[in-house]
Amino acid sequence: MTHREPLRPVLYDESRDLVRLLDQRKLPGEETWLELATADGVAEAIKTLAVRGAPAIGVAAAYGVAVEARRGAGPAQLRRVAAMLARARPTAINLAWAVKRISARLDHGAAALLAEAHAIRDEDEAACRRMGALGAPLLPRGATVLTHCNAGALATAGYGTALGVIRAAREAGNPVTVLADETRPFFQGARLTAWELDRDGIPVTVLTDGMAGWLMQRGEIQCVVVGADRIAANGDVANKIGTYGLAVLAAHHRLPFYVAAPWSTVDLETATGAGIPIEERPSEEVVLIGAQRIAPVGVPARYPAFDVTPGELVSAIVTERGVVRAPYPEGLRAIAGGG
Amino acid sequence: MTHREPLRPVLYDESRDLVRLLDQRKLPGEETWLELATADGVAEAIKTLAVRGAPAIGVAAAYGVAVEARRGAGPAQLRRVAAMLARARPTAINLAWAVKRISARLDHGAAALLAEAHAIRDEDEAACRRMGALGAPLLPRGATVLTHCNAGALATAGYGTALGVIRAAREAGNPVTVLADETRPFFQGARLTAWELDRDGIPVTVLTDGMAGWLMQRGEIQCVVVGADRIAANGDVANKIGTYGLAVLAAHHRLPFYVAAPWSTVDLETATGAGIPIEERPSEEVVLIGAQRIAPVGVPARYPAFDVTPGELVSAIVTERGVVRAPYPEGLRAIAGGG
């Protein structure tokens, strides 16, 4: 089944002044849109993963500031709102980046704030398309590409980062196919990546998170492409838990391991991955799947939501400003002035 | 909560001639025992994972032959029954081994067959205790030990292989603690390993399968111990899907990676891992969790149930005949005559 309307998970309804978010907790079973009239509602949607993905939560937070301005909040209140939104999740730097960007206009009035939020949204989608164009040539012809979590249209304003590279390769006539790690505990791969690729007619098969090594050993994977939540100045990449293990496996099998992320994900003020805060989420989100409990009552579970992949394991970082290869400190600095 | 009765998941009720199996599909929520009067019932329990774990399915199959003999089947019919049971699952060699062993007595009458099945059961539990004694000294004092799937009492006649080593270390006063990979798609780690260790008062924390790399990078894991479904003559180890990835990660972090398995798991007639048949199970077992579908309808999933870890990545193989280290062809041959 192929739909052709582009998928855009974060929208703003100007006639009713509502932030509209495709509820990613309900996919693929239900396509439900949340309609939020307050920044608190947006923050709650970010915390509970109704909207997730580093670029997408940045866009949502910008609209969260805009909706409060359009409903009459003044600069002082907006400043508190912005600080509250920036704290909703700690790891993705895009959230802080978007809030900081819109916060530079808190004194300019509601119309200017909404225009800035729209600009953040539009620029993110344009960046994804540019990353697609730059990254697509990296994929071998007919490759089976492994991805982790969802770095797709659902994680961005539209089109996607890692999945944008895959979409662009397909649009350029390269018949790549995709293996999607299911990505426990939230199943972003099985639920979201599989849904949005299937919607676009791109062949996708789901794996459990323990299968990648075996398929690499058997020669069934040609490269790995993932997104990022934050990239430190030295090229260390924070991304969904499980990414680091894939990078080690890719290196062991001499397969390329690519990261695609907009420039807003690059945090030159954080020197190395050791400085990136890693969110720990509740044990219950691991042991409860819907109403089903998969572990005995009283047995704890760990849930670090992200991990850090050292730059040495990354073959290239694809941004809208260019494709950067090691040494990353120099490569990232070189394009820092552009854009 | 600490119980002290040893856990034995495969029993035979002589007064009623029933094979009794603790239904591992229902744990940890329910402790339900299946009572099976036919070999067909036992084969179905093996295929549907009501009983699983290489040694445990061998014991169950032996009782499956015995129950038919006790209910009046003659040698010719028992031969067909034995062949049928041996085909129930392809990867674990213990199944074929146990069926072959009991098949040597098909002409000796029902009492001899039941005695042989009991012997297989008792020897497996004794082997586990011996592996525990031999393997326990390998675990560093106070180590956090990572395990995958369930290689415990539930996977054997009792006590366990990998978990037997952990139990023996604890009994010897080494306060090791355990991290259990949840082990998708069947959740043997979250459901079974967590349940049986918690029952014995051994501290256990559940991880999703993508977390091990990150915790190794952070120094939170000191060694890995897993079981095996078949060990080739060169030391290649077939075990639950995901094991190979852990072995690569352990090598990358210079952590010991141990395999514990009874001698019945060693298949000297299979030269290398390439000769081990890997069971592929249905896609639906990945995408359906209870009634909940985690991927869009129509999107396929892979389910190779096992993978093969090359002997080079294995620090030692613990059997009841001794602890073997590389080079494995020589080491395994050296103890092949013993026992």
- Of residues B197, B187, B191, the one with CA closest to residue B163: B197
Residues of A labelled as active-site residues: 229
- pLDDT (0 to 100) of residue B337: 82
User: Strand runs (DSSP E) across B9-143, as ranges?
Assistant: 10-13, 18-22, 33-36
Inter-residue contact A81 to A68 (CB < 8 Å): yes
Pick B302's closest partner by Cβ from A29, A187, A211. Answer: A211
Residue B11: phi and psi, rounded to 5, are: -130, 165
Question: What are B129-187's pLDDT values in tens digits?
Answer: 999 999 999 999 999 999 999 999 999 999 999 999 999 999 999 999 999 999 999 99
Residues B300-322 have a mean pLDDT of 98
- Of residues A158, A169, A102, the one with CA closest to residue A134: A169
Beta carbons of B210 and A301 less than 8 Å apart: no
Beta carbons of B241 and A299 less than 8 Å apart: no
Q: How far is B186 from chain A (nearest CA, A)?
A: 10
Q: How far is B185 from chain A (nearest CA, A)?
A: 7
Question: What are A22-67's pLDDT values in tens digits?
Answer: 999 999 999 999 999 999 999 999 999 999 999 999 999 999 999 9
List A residues 126-155 in contact with B (Cβ-Cβ < 8 A).
Answer: 148
Cβ-Cβ contacts under 8 Å for A304 (sequence gap 6 or more): A241, A278, A279, A280, B211, B214
- Of residues B117, B141, B143, the one with CA closest to residue B20: B117
Pick A286's closest partner by Cβ from B183, B208, B300. Answer: B208
Q: Is B124 a catalytic residue?
A: no
- pLDDT (0 to 100) of residue B5: 83
Chain A residues lying within 8 Å of B201, measured CB to CB: none
- Of residues B33, B27, B31, the one with CA closest to residue B13: B33
User: What mean pLDDT is reported for chain B?
Assistant: 97
- Nearest Cα residue in chain A from B299: A205
Would an 8 Å CB–CB cutoff place B311 in contact with chain A? no
Given a cut of 90, whether residue A112 has pLDDT beyond it is yes
Inter-residue contact A82 to A65 (CB < 8 Å): yes
Beta carbons of B185 and A208 less than 8 Å apart: yes
More confident of the two residues A53 and B5: A53
Rounded to an integer, what is the distance from CA B237 to the centroid of its chain? Answer: 13
- Of residues B197, B121, B208, the one with CA closest to residue B165: B197
- pLDDT (0 to 100) of residue A175: 98
Given a cut of 50, whether residue A1 has pLDDT beyond it is no
Given a cut of 80, whether residue A4 has pLDDT beyond it is no
Chain B residues lying within 8 Å of A295, measured CB to CB: 28, 182, 190-191, 194-195, 206
3-state helix, strand, coil in chain B (%, to 5): 40, 20, 40
ipTM: 0.97
Chain A residues lying within 8 Å of B286, measured CB to CB: 182, 206, 208
Place of tokens 């797709």: A152
- Nearest Cα residue in chain A from B274: A218
Inter-residue contact B42 to B33 (CB < 8 Å): no
β B177-181/B144-147 pair status = parallel
Would an 8 Å CB–CB cutoff place B195 in contact with chain A? yes
Given a cut of 80, whether residue B4 has pLDDT beyond it is no
Give the count of alpha carbons within 13 A of A244, CB side only. 26
Beta carbons of A208 and B252 less than 8 Å apart: no
Would an 8 Å CB–CB cutoff place A84 in contact with chain B? no
